[in-house]
């Protein structure tokens, strides 16, 4: 335990990646629990669903047909959150004498959103897939990231060398928009109805924008500050510390550490962190791509095993911006967040509402308790043991 | 419209209260909509539920019985998120040479959490209640806030004068904990199953803590900065601006302005802002308490009318800390946030997941469109017109 007393008292913990605090109430886990016990959930989906807009061969909303793809398939989202081309908008500069310029600030955003399927099979999830089936997903993430880097990006040479080593995929290649250089690429997955995901076909989204989004922007600022103040990388120090403390580790291999972070907000939140200084996907060696696929497999399988259900979550990769300076690339440290809402069973979830929205995130079980539970959930995927 | 072009292009808007940005995708509202139409929902709850732990006369989890209260009733939460008394914990000061002191920071939090019922009736909500029925709720909020102020608080004289004018309520009075002075009081309501609220009996929660929570803390920093830079209050300027622009106003009376703020994240998010410099509940005059009750009534009734359903939301009051300097009290500006998740109907909600968690909040309909809809939703509560 970090300090035995923290396992019993209400306290706040600091998230050095975002510079914010959260409230931890470990004594609350002693509340009586009358929740139901769920039966282990089996997979009842078909391997192919003629109505799914992601299954091979099917038609999508705007009339395009999906190819008979083999592993991954990438296409531009039919209803992107950002537009590639749009009318110009030049906000007025802020001016102390013009209240509107201070309080009604807007800035234009352009970009493009992709959908990326993980498998042609409608009825699998990352937890069901083997490491060699997840590897093509990591390869496609790497190719799509590498292909969107700016012409002068410090990671260009690394990207070219890496992309030359990854097998091409006729259904996984995309050209970046030619209009203007994009600033950031957010790869994220929303899994499960509890996370508002309406299609169980395994897939993620890739949103690229001309602006740096808030969350990676905050992390970037904090990592840059830490580096300036301490002369070391925040996540390098954190990996070292967690490997020494051994209190929040869920799993690890040579390339990656999986922990329930000290500052976890979601009950079973985890972070996959590169052990060495990997700035972005294109920095990964052939071996590390396999190790990363393995880490993703371990996390998602343990999640499903925890409550014997298909575990909902949002996950996302943070890495170097698509357009940045040498110093900004150097500050970046590749990692992946998993934010799952389930708390006590397949149906009892944590809501981030009320106090969390108005005041401060709050959690009951400690990250140390969560890590211990997830550590014990290895082994065969529970669904394979049902009949 | 703010600038006509913003109604069509993807852009970001700045929240000056928190210093963060959000993504707005107005073109996306042109997506085809195949959602179901809901029938107007009637109230099917009993006026008294023998199993409800908030109904008058009933027993609560830890054995206490509720009194036969008349309007509001306040009691200490049986499972508070913070403890009043606990073991001491003195964190090590941060030290550049000790990574753990930088990356595993914690601080103790003490405090007390209350539950506050709005009515003895199990089957009403604020939307069903009249202004004169909501007034005792505002009075109880005022008393509980006033009674927890520190001995040297700059609002003490105001609080004493105000509390002397508010009728006492044998079931609405509480003494603050005698152990140590608390820093902040967060009054918030979680309404509806969509917000994880398990009990429909109308009530809110009041959490007091020895620490300043993140959200009001961020707002406080931003308001202080604005004041230092511009010599005026941020929310004074904002009220003035919105009253001039008339683009996001939902409703107003002499004391309060209700707008869908420029920076709204939730589809029908609104903020109630005091028009004059009110630092906290105890600053409100007798007339303003009625006006505030009226504003709360207008917001909640319009919400219910919008989709003809009992509208879920989280709401919360931000005001001066319980313990603060003259200057901090002066910086505070009383306001109330409403964050409702519904998007298109009683069952189609906005999820803040995926990109929102990993990158940046995102919305489709603009605050101007939301305000126009809510402005048109006045009139009798729809339920009263059903038979
Ligand atoms: Zn991150
Ligand atoms: Zn506020």
For A118, how many CA atoms within 13 A lie in the half-sphere containing its CB? 30
Phi, psi of B132, deg, nearest 5? -75, -20
pLDDT of residue B157: 96
For residue B83, list its beta bridge partners: B110
The reported pLDDT for the residue numbered B31 is 56
Beta-carbon separation of B349 and A196 below 8 A:
yes
A196 is in an annotated binding site: yes
Q: How far is B215 from chain A (nearest CA, A)?
A: 5
Q: Which residue did the predictor score with more confidence, B259 or A83?
A: B259
Residues facing A24 on adjacent strands: A11, A363
Candidates A153, A203, A233, A277; catalytic one:
A203
Torsion over CA of B234, B235, B240 and B246, rounded to 10 degrees?
120
Chain B residue closest in CA terms to A214 = B360
pLDDT, one tens digit per residue, over A189-246 is 999 988 888 799 999 999 999 999 999 999 999 999 999 999 999 999 999 999 999 9
CB within 8 Å: B240 and A3: no
Containing B142, the helix (H) or strand (E) segment is helix B131-147
pLDDT of residue B198: 79
Do residues B333 and B279 make contact, with C-beta atoms less than 8 angstroms apart?
Answer: yes
The Cα of B166 is separated from the nearest Cα of chain A by a number of Å equal to 27
Ordered alpha helix ranges (H), A246-339: 286-307, 326-331
Residues A337 and A381: their CA atoms lie apart, in Å, by 21
Radius of gyration of chain B (CA): 21
Ligand nearest to the CA of B339: 2
With 90 as the cut, is the pLDDT of residue A1 above it? Answer: no
Quote the CA–CA distance of A337 and A314 in Å, as a whole number: 8
The pTM is what?
A: 0.95
- Kindly state the tokens that stand for A379: 């082994």
- The CA distance from B107 to A11, in Å, is 6
Which residue reads 């993430």 in tokens? A141
Instruction: Give pLDDT, residue B30.
Output: 60
Structural contact between residues B291 and B336, judged by C-beta atoms closer than 8 angstroms: no
Provide the token pair at B47: 């006026």
Spans in chain B with pLDDT lower than 50? 1, 33-35
Using the mean position of ligand 2's atoms as its centre, give its distance from the Cα of residue B281 in Å.
Answer: 14
Give which of B304, B350, B274 is closest to B191, Cα–Cα: B304
Lowest mean pLDDT among A29-43, A73-87, A355-369: A29-43
For residue A261, the distance in angstroms to the closest alpha carbon of chain B comes to 10
- Which pLDDT value is given to residue A153? 96
Cβ atoms within 10 Å of B247's Cβ, excluding its own? 18
d(Cα A105, Cα B16) in Å, to the nearest integer?
A: 9
User: Please, which pLDDT band fits residue A63 given cuts at 50, 70 and 90?
Assistant: confident
Q: How many CB pairs (< 8 A) connect A and B?
A: 259
Quick one: CA dihedral B115, B118, B124, B127, positive or negative?
Answer: negative
- For residue B349, the CA-to-ligand 1 centroid distance in Å is 26
Strand-strand pairing, B203-209 and A111-117: unpaired
Compute CA distances A61 → A55, A64, B223, whole Å. Answer: 13, 7, 46
What span, in angstroms and rounded, lies between the C-alpha atoms of A65 and A317? 29
Question: What sign does the dihedral A254-A256-A257-A259 (CA atoms) show?
Answer: negative
Q: Are the beta carbons of B261 and B249 closer than 8 angstroms?
A: no
Distance B373 CA to ligand 1 centre (A): 37
> Cβ of B228 under 8 Å from any chain A Cβ?
no
Least confident of A160-164, A362-366, B342-346: B342-346
ipTM: 0.94
Q: In this complex, do B359 and A213 lie within 8 Å of one another by their Cβ atoms?
A: yes
The answer to whether A60 faces chain B, any CB pair under 8 Å, is: no
Q: Which comes out higher in pLDDT, residue A128 or B8? A: A128
Contact A275, A254 (CB under 8 A): yes
Return residues 295-354 of A near B (CB < 8 Å).
314-316, 318, 337, 339, 349, 351-354
pLDDT at position B176 is 87
For residue A253, give the nearest of A232, A269, A239, A267 by alpha carbon.
Answer: A239
Report yes or no: A102 at the B interface, CB cutoff 8 Å. Answer: yes
Distance from B84 to chain A by nearest Cα, in Å?
9
Query: Is A148 tagged catalytic?
Result: no
CB atoms under 10 Å from CB of A101, counted, come to 14
**Chain B environment of A337 (Cβ under 8 Å):** 357-358
Contacts within 8 Å (CB) and 24+ apart, A148-152: A148/A176, A148/A182, A148/A185, A148/A208, A148/A322, A149/A282, A149/A322, A149/A323, A150/A181, A150/A322, A150/A323, A150/A324, A151/A181
Question: pLDDT at position B219, please?
Answer: 97
- Residue with more model confidence, B41 or A151: A151
A81 lies within 8 A of chain B by CB = yes
Q: Please state, in angstroms and rounded to a whole number, the distance separating the CA atoms of residues B68 and B57.
A: 5
Instruction: Specify the 3-state DSSP secondary structure of A185.
Output: strand
Which A residues 257-286 touch B at CB under 8 Å?
A: 262
- Residue B294: what pLDDT? 98
Q: Could you tell me which of B180, B201, B182, B179 has the C-alpha nearest to residue B190?
A: B201
For chain A, positions 190-209, list CB contacts with chain B under 8 A: 190, 195-196, 205, 207, 209
Query: Which of residues 155 through 174 in chain B touch A, CB cutoff 8 A?
Result: none
C-alpha B162: how far from its chain's center? 22
pLDDT on residue B7? 85
pLDDT in tens, A288-340: 999 999 999 999 999 999 999 999 999 999 999 999 999 999 999 999 999 99
pLDDT value for B54: 95
Report pLDDT for A31: 56
Rounded Cα–Cα distance for residues A303 and B94 (Å): 34
Residues forming beta bridges with residue A342, ordered by sequence position: A349
> Kindly report the CA angle at B213 between B209 and B219, in degrees rounded to 5?
135
Q: Per-residue pLDDT tens for B89-146?
A: 888 888 888 999 999 999 999 999 999 999 999 999 999 999 999 999 999 999 999 9
Q: What whole-number distance in Å separates Cα of residue A94 and Cα of residue B302?
A: 35
Neighbours of A202 (CB within 10 A): 24
CA neighbours within 13 Å on the CB side: how many for B319?
28
């Amino acid at each position: 335990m970090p300090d035995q007393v923290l396992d019993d008292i209400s306290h706040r913990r600091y998230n050095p990646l975002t510079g914010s605090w959260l409230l931890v109430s470990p004594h609350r886990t002693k509340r009586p629990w009358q929740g139901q016990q769920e039966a282990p959930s089996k997979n009842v989906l078909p391997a192919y669903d003629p109505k799914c807009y992601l299954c091979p061969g099917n038609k999508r909303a705007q009339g395009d047909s999906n190819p008979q793809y083999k592993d991954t398939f990438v296409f531009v989202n039919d209803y992107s959150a950002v537009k590639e081309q749009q009318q110009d908008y030049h906000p007025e500069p802020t001016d102390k004498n013009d209240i509107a310029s201070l309080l009604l600030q807007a800035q234009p955003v352009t970009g493009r959103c992709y959908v990326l399927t993980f498998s042609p099979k409608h009825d699998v999830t990352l937890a069901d897939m083997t490491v060699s089936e997840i590897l093509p997903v990591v390869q496609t993430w790497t190719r799509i990231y590498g292909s969107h880097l700016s012409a002068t990006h410090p990671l260009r040479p690394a990207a070219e060398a890496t992309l030359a080593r990854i097998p091409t995929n006729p259904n996984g290649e995309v050209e970046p928009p030619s209009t203007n250089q994009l600033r950031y690429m957010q790869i994220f997955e929303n899994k499960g109805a509890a996370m508002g995901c309406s299609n169980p076909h395994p897939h993620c989204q890739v949103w690229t924008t001309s602006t740096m989004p808030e969350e990676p922007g905050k992390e970037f600022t904090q990592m840059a500050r830490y580096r300036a103040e301490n002369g070391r990388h925040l996540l390098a120090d954190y990996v070292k510390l967690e490997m020494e403390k051994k209190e929040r580790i869920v799993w690890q291999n040579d390339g990656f550490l999986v922990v329930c972070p000290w500052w976890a907000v979601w009950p079973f939140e985890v972070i996959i962190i590169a052990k060495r200084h990997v700035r972005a996907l294109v920095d990964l060696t052939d071996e590390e791509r396999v190790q990363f696929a393995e880490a993703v497999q371990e996390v998602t399988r343990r999640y499903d095993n925890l409550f014997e259900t298909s575990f909902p979550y949002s996950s996302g990769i943070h890495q170097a911006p698509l357009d940045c300076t040498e110093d900004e690339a150097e500050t970046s440290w590749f990692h992946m967040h998993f934010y799952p809402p389930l708390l006590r069973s397949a149906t009892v979830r944590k809501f981030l509402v009320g106090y969390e929205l108005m005041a401060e995130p709050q959690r009951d079980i400690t990250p140390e308790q969560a890590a211990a539970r997830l550590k014990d959930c290895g082994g065969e995927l529970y669904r394979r043991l049902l009949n």
